[in-house]
Structure 1
């Protein structure tokens, strides 16, 4: 599959699955052979929809985001969030095409077996290239649905699930999550919203500071039952419908929609609960049992994977846009992609995008998708890989968006070109579901409580031991040496005492992410040589290991040969023979 960027004017109105050989390869490698034809068809359909209609909608929505009409002309409070038609059209298309409802769909029932998890992650990866705010909105609905399925009693399920399951967006409900309060920020233990029980009815009173997809019909929130202890163990988990069964308002008052830097397609607001009727999500206990936060946090790894996909999706999108633009923009006697420094930048954007993608799909594969199994029962490898993936992909989104924007020159900074929104949106993802500091602490915690680093080292060594092709020898040696250094650093941090470990937590997490990405791309390179007879991934693995582990890699002669001699074949995904690749390895 050869991609000719010179034949494209821009990324929009292309089938984003069909012009992404790396994603196609991931599906060939990860999806069972009995499901590959079906998966390929579904992703091709979604790639065309997202790359065309939904991508065009995303540009319109960013320039005309949702607005709050709090009062009607008679001065009555109505709390109406008015969405642009572009946003509503996107949601209608996603709902209609089973973007989040695929497991419950009629098609899934007819197949008689679950849809392949990599295919569904592929859906999110494609949408993240287009509109990460919309991904947040969609994910809220999915998360609310799963929490009510697991923890709602029969009455709660009857109220919420029939509407959440509908694939007609206008007739169904979408979801919201109201967790953060002004006093606490990320410290949910400072939650002040109070839940009071009156007979069999719970009512909520309090103020929520960051409410994602603020006007969703089905809300999940945290509140402290009256008399519960302070701190995180005193919280209960509740579902709230925006309107009561008779259609009247349910005490949910939107103060304002925040004027955000990016991700404008998902309205984020401030909300007061005033005697809002709530349904406890505690079918396995009670709202007062101190496990509300545990129930909520069981889904944190799934949420982090989605946010990681946002970063990885932006990395892919900005590489694609930059590769196209570099064939069109002329400077100093020709298209800028003829110049060595630009070639180096494009190769780096592509390699970093592929490294993010393999880490994303590896982590996602570790999270259970069988609903009969308890959520939050991921193996220890997932517990350490997911925060590493979220950290690396979201930071990579910011870095790649900045680098790609520069290749557009001044036009990159202009809002009616494609790069400015990607750069604005990318910065949000480092905040959602945990900053780098929080994620690094989670990595330390899994090391102490789960010994998760041993599972990670085992997986990395498995990647290295399977890379037996002769042209991978240098890369294999480099990754093996990096694993040895990582092992030494793990011992160093373990013996550094509490303050020393906290000081080095982020350094260690970044080192783990470096080694994990290189090891996984090395494994891909072996698979590609075995099954596709091309050395594209071998060259990518060599580029990444040198950039990660060689302090002066910019002076490496192999890199020079790659930039000068293999640029077109590498960037355009032409077949690269082992002999052609050898000089670059």
Structure 2
């Protein structure tokens, strides 16, 4: 979009199509066999890029959720009030299948269609994706309790957002959140102290009362949460804890406060206490951590998708701005050094999009290579893509100059939101250690992944050298490899991205990526090199 402003100010980027303007995304959807969803995604892209939707995303973060712990008459209500813009974004996400498409649609390509929608919504409003994608991730866990799942399956499958705060049985749809971490332990879930006391068996299974707390509870207005708590006999177990008990009374889950987050303000992350809250066992007693981590494994894909989306949004804003801002006699985009910086961002965005969309495809298959790929690459992609999103959004903010450093522009919210995906569902160190843990538990997984990478890179010596370096690293003693976990994970992610670029990108982009990413000068600061003498060609190919 090109527009001339009389004061040399770039017009706002709006009323554009997030899908049709993104050739990398559209080709990834087609490659995954999801052409059946193309028309729907075109419509979604237009709606996401409309001025009305962009304003709703802004309003949802301007008018923050309000916590009301008590009613006028002093009863506990623990209710969070949202601006209508929040419900607009939640309704859009639900209608577009972000809460349930992979479980509603048995076609393997449904994962790619889902990923494309999430990728677009995250560019507009990220907070609403949290309860929506957690709902999607909860389905395989809830199925471990067949009676429970049968009682709520229609609510999970619904494409309608039901904002009413009433018992689940009376609702048209539901959302499901997660409550794992506690203030004394954080990521070390073994230190959790929340207790669950058995109270008998009911129609939904073994019932318990939970007493304790959760330091992060997202999002408290979900209709139910999957919660970790310890039983006396067998340790940590996973429980389904609804907001309203089956008898229609409010479950005693007391919201202590809403978190004052660095990033999005729309989603009400909170701290809560359980005061004998009713819950029902999900999965095997004493196996709660692996049970609930299986949900986190799915939502880690979502974090990586969100990181790639933030890169695309930041790059799109920077490219639009520089096309419409002039200095020293020509558009900023045509200034040689700015062209280099933008081309470097274009490569980063393309490689990230290829990585996350390819990873989503692997979630649809139970073939050994696909399962190995997602076990090893999900934490690696989450680590690398979310780290790079922070750097890219910062660089894009700088492209705007002072205009980027004010909250009235688009970059402040993008920049503040970028770090969250590196933290949520496991920080960077946890992700790198999970890569090594996946390899140590299933050594054949690493072998299959590296063999496949070697096949793709057979005619590219620089990438083959990285594959061999990964093989060499795996021969190190465990302690030595653990110290190098970040370096190993970075190399793995870049090698996979290089192979995907070789397979799916235009030759000039693939060679530029390899030239730059394995250049010793690349990495510390964006725009040092974009790996080609024709940087403008990368920009022309990045936006249609």
TM-score, length basis structure 2: 0.89
Whether the aligned pair in 2 keeps the contact of 1:343 and 1:567 (CA below 8 Å) is no
Whether the aligned pair in 1 keeps the contact of 2:175 and 2:223 (CA below 8 Å) is yes
- Deviations along 1:333-354, one digit per CA (max 9) or x if unpaired, are 2321121111011101110000
Shift of 1:45: 1.8
Moved more, 405-414 or 43-52: 43-52
Whether the aligned pair in 1 keeps the contact of 2:226 and 2:292 (CA below 8 Å) is no
Which position in structure 1 is the counterpart of 2:397? 405
Which position in structure 2 is the counterpart of 1:51? 49
2:533 is paired with a residue whose SS is helix
Residue ranges of structure 2 left out of the alignment (5+ in a row): 5-9, 163-171, 202-206
Which position in structure 2 is the counterpart of 1:12? 14
Whether the aligned pair in 2 keeps the contact of 1:71 and 1:78 (CA below 8 Å) is yes
CA pair 314-199 structure 1, distance change in 2 beyond 3 A: same
CA pair 168-566 structure 1, distance change in 2 beyond 3 A: closer
Which position in structure 2 is the counterpart of 1:220? 226
Distance 1:254 1:377 in 2: 44
Distance 2:381 2:471 in 1: 19
Shift of 1:275: 1.1
Shift of 1:386: 0.9
- Deviations along 1:380-415, one digit per CA (max 9) or x if unpaired, are 222111111111110111011000000000111111
Distance 1:277 1:556 in 2: 57
Shift of 1:61: 1.0
Which position in structure 1 is the counterpart of 2:515? 546
Whether the aligned pair in 2 keeps the contact of 1:153 and 1:281 (CA below 8 Å) is no
Is 1:519 aligned to 2:499, yes or no?
Answer: yes
Moved more, 410-419 or 538-547: 538-547
2:124 is paired with a residue whose SS is coil
Distance 2:530 2:485 in 1: 33
CA pair 501-488 structure 1, distance change in 2 beyond 3 A: closer
Of 177, 197, 215, 1:209 maps to 215
Is 1:502 aligned to 2:495, yes or no?
Answer: no
Distance 1:538 1:318 in 2: 24
Which position in structure 1 is the counterpart of 2:196? 195
Shift of 1:159: 4.2
Distance 2:102 2:138 in 1: 15
Aligned length: 520
2:239 is paired with a residue whose SS is strand
Which position in structure 2 is the counterpart of 1:231? none
Of 341, 344, 347, 1:348 maps to 344
Moved more, 378-387 or 317-326: 378-387
CA pair 489-146 structure 1, distance change in 2 beyond 3 A: closer
The aligned runs of 1:441-456 (5 Å cut-off) are 441-451=433-443, 452-456=445-449
- Structure number with the higher helix fraction is 1
Shift of 1:146: 3.2
Whether the aligned pair in 1 keeps the contact of 2:390 and 2:415 (CA below 8 Å) is yes
CA pair 450-146 structure 1, distance change in 2 beyond 3 A: closer
Distance 2:133 2:530 in 1: 43
Which position in structure 2 is the counterpart of 1:71? 70
Which position in structure 1 is the counterpart of 2:450? 457
Whether the aligned pair in 2 keeps the contact of 1:464 and 1:523 (CA below 8 Å) is no
Whether the aligned pair in 1 keeps the contact of 2:137 and 2:296 (CA below 8 Å) is no
CA pair 10-336 structure 1, distance change in 2 beyond 3 A: same
Shift of 1:520: 1.1
Whether the aligned pair in 2 keeps the contact of 1:311 and 1:426 (CA below 8 Å) is yes
Distance 1:517 1:114 in 2: 22
State the Cα RMSD in Å: 2.6
Whether the aligned pair in 2 keeps the contact of 1:5 and 1:323 (CA below 8 Å) is no
Distance 2:80 2:38 in 1: 37
CA pair 162-245 structure 1, distance change in 2 beyond 3 A: farther
Of 107, 111, 114, 1:117 maps to 111
CA pair 552-276 structure 1, distance change in 2 beyond 3 A: closer
CA pair 298-239 structure 1, distance change in 2 beyond 3 A: same
CA pair 351-71 structure 1, distance change in 2 beyond 3 A: same
CA pair 341-80 structure 1, distance change in 2 beyond 3 A: same
Which position in structure 2 is the counterpart of 1:293? 289
CA pair 566-357 structure 1, distance change in 2 beyond 3 A: closer
Shift of 1:196: 0.5
Which position in structure 2 is the counterpart of 1:267? 268
